Structure 1
Amino acid sequence: MGKLGGEMKALAKKAGGSFKTVDDRIHIVQRFGRYLRSLNIQIQRVEQIKVRHIECYIQARLAQQIGKRTLQNEMSALRAVLQHAGRKQVAQHDRLTNKALGLAGASRNGTNRAITSEHYQQVLAAVRDKDVGLSATLELARLMGLRSQEAVQCCQSLKMWKQALERGETRLTVVFGTKGHRPRETVILDAGAVKKALDNALSVAEQRDGRLIEQPNLQKAMNYWRGALAEAGLTGNYTPHSLRYAWAQDAMHHYLAQGFSDKEALALTSMDLGHGDGRGRYVVQVYGRHEEE
């Protein structure tokens, strides 16, 4: 990895955030380090990184036709690392703004699609043949709108969720794997289906020492989750997040059917997803895209 790579990885971790945010940031700085090495740029410390190095990196990524939103995220990661290294002057340099780099004006519209019922059933059948624990996790992710890390860690909440259902509660609390480690509450859209999925998941977990996915650590469990679902058909415009997209659309329809206005339904769905009540427009842009678009 080298001195630069090791230092940047340590700073990427120090910058904080959710597991996924930190993991993505590490991959970004490693990619940046490989780019510098490919040009034989001899840099050993973060303090030696210059504005022109980052400018050239972004231009090279644009030439590879990498999307502007992706590159905005990459710049955010690089800025975070530079800030934590005490390189505020470089991180906030006029030449490294999104506008100066040609990254301004990128759309926040979601690139994925909400999974259709037909495609979901195909994926579920393929996964069930491979691993019943994985299929149980997949079902809960679709029925509760779980993020990937929430789904992978959901085995820790199965008993709590079942007890909540038995008490007749209409919402379930998601604790493990949430973004920023902030617990969130999500509405139960189909109590019967959720109960059936929980009973199945608990049965599998009892046979696996409390686990649904049999992997030695969270990182390997996440890799297994993504890889196995990709093999089962969640590729291209369909990803594990497509399950959450579909759930979000179901939630919006649920609230509208209860008589809430469009604005209220969006705010409630946004809170269920863990985004807060002020991100209704974001929910429409990112989660509201339909298969026919």
Structure 2
Amino acid sequence: MGKLGNEMKVLAKHCGGSHKTVNDRIHIVQRFDHHLRALNVQIQRVTQIKVRHIESYIYERLAQGIGKRTLQNEMAALRAVLQQAGRKQIAEHERLTNKSLGLSGASRNGTRQAIIPDHYRHVLETARAKDPGLAAVLELARLMGLHSQEAVQSVQSLKTWQQAVERGDTRLTVIFGTKGGRPRETVILDTGAVRKALDNALAVAESHNNRLINKPDLKSAMDYWHNQAARMGLTGAYSPHSLRYAWAQDAIRHYLAQGFSRKEALAMVAMDLGHGDGRGRYVAQVYGVGG
């Protein structure tokens, strides 16, 4: 990484936000720096960045088939870094609006589907035959509506969750791998299934150096999870996130059955997923939940 990349990285850190947001922003500016260097653009300071440089980057990303929602986020990161560097004029330039760049009109509707039971069973059986630890992570993700990172780091909470289930608690606290590092509470939809999955995961972990995914660090564990999940059939519309979609739909039905209104049920599921109660409409839109 050159001088420009290093300067942008420092600025990206200073923009603030959660650990994940900062990390994502750093990756974006590094990609932008790499794009300019690949084109042999000889600039070394953020003060030298021109409108055409950012246009060129976004058009290349569009040509690569990167989604508009993703590119809106990338532009937001680049604007934040430019603002941080005092380049407000460039950050707010009319040629760099989402509309001018051809990024407007992207839908937040969920692009993936809730995994269907037959496909889930097939993937789980394949995982059990290949790697019991991976299968345990997969099962917890489906039964608790976990993000991939939460599922991969779930081994750290297995005993706490097991004790909570034994006490008769109706909710479990998710701490590790959450977005922004904010703990969240999620409702137990099927106590028997969750208890069985936790007992199994603990047994697997005890025979695997207290790990479910036997990798030395989080990055290699996440890479392994994503690669293996795709090989087993969790890809496209049925990505690992489809497990969370299916859980969200189950949770909606759970709350409706308890007598909550649809609006209340959506708000409850939004909180269970870690989005906050004000994002019920978002949950309905992104997770495509009925009810």
Native 8 Å contact 2:113 2:245 kept in 1:
yes
Structure 1 residues 24-66: Cα deviation after superposition (integer angstroms, max 9, x where no partner): 4333323322321232211222232122211222233334443
Q: Secondary structure at the match of 1:106?
A: coil
Paired amino acid for 2:139 = E
Matched with 1:280 is 280
Distance 2:233 2:13 in 1: 32
Q: Do the aligned residues in 1 keep the contact of 2:283 with 2:289 (CA within 8 Å)?
A: no
Change (3 A) 1:122 1:26: farther
Distance of 1:240 and 1:139 partners within structure 2: 11
**1:109 matches 2:109:** yes
CA distance in 2, matches of 1:19, 1:120: 32
| Residue type at the aligned position of 1:36 | L
**Change beyond 3 A, Cα 1:21–1:227:** farther
Amino acid corresponding to residue 281 of structure 1 in structure 2: R
Between 1:39-48 and 1:136-145, the stretch displaced more is: 39-48
Match of residue 39 from structure 2: 39
1-structure distance, mates of 2:117, 2:104 = 36
Cα deviation, 1:155-211, whole Å, max 9, x if unaligned, reads: 111111111111111000001111111110000000000000000111111223322
1:151 equivalent to 2:148? Answer no
* Deviation >6 Å, runs of 4+: none
1:60 aligns with 2:60: yes
Whole-angstrom distance in 2 between the partners of 1:19 and 1:139: 27
What TM-score comes out, normalization by structure 2 length?
0.92
> SS in structure 2 opposite 1:79?
helix
Q: What is the match of residue 96 of structure 1?
A: 96
Give the 5 Å matches for 1:1-80.
1-18=1-18, 20-80=20-80
Percentage of matched positions with identical amino acids:
74
Q: Give, in angstroms, the shift of residue 20 of structure 1.
A: 4.6
Unaligned runs of 5+ in 1: none
Higher mean C-alpha deviation, range 129-138 or range 30-39: 30-39
* Aligned residue number for residue 251 of structure 1: 251
Deviation at 1:280, TM superposition (A): 1.2
Residues 93 and 247 (structure 1 numbering): CA distance in 2 closer, same or farther, change over 3 Å?
same
Mapped to 1, the partners of 2:132 and 2:20 lie a distance apart of: 25
| Native 8 Å contact 2:12 2:25 kept in 1 | yes
Inter-partner Cα distance in structure 2 for 1:164 and 1:88: 51
> Is the 8 Å Cα contact of residues 110 and 289 (structure 1) preserved in structure 2?
no
Runs of at least 5 residues in structure 2 that lack an aligned partner in the other structure? none
TM-score w.r.t. the length of structure 1 is 0.92
Secondary structure, in 3 states, of the residue corresponding to 2:133?
A: helix
2:223 match: 223
Kept after mapping to 2: 8 A contact 1:271/1:277: yes
- SS of equivalent residue, structure 1 residue 279: helix
For 1:174, the aligned partner's letter is: V
Deviates more, 1:22-31 or 1:106-115: 22-31
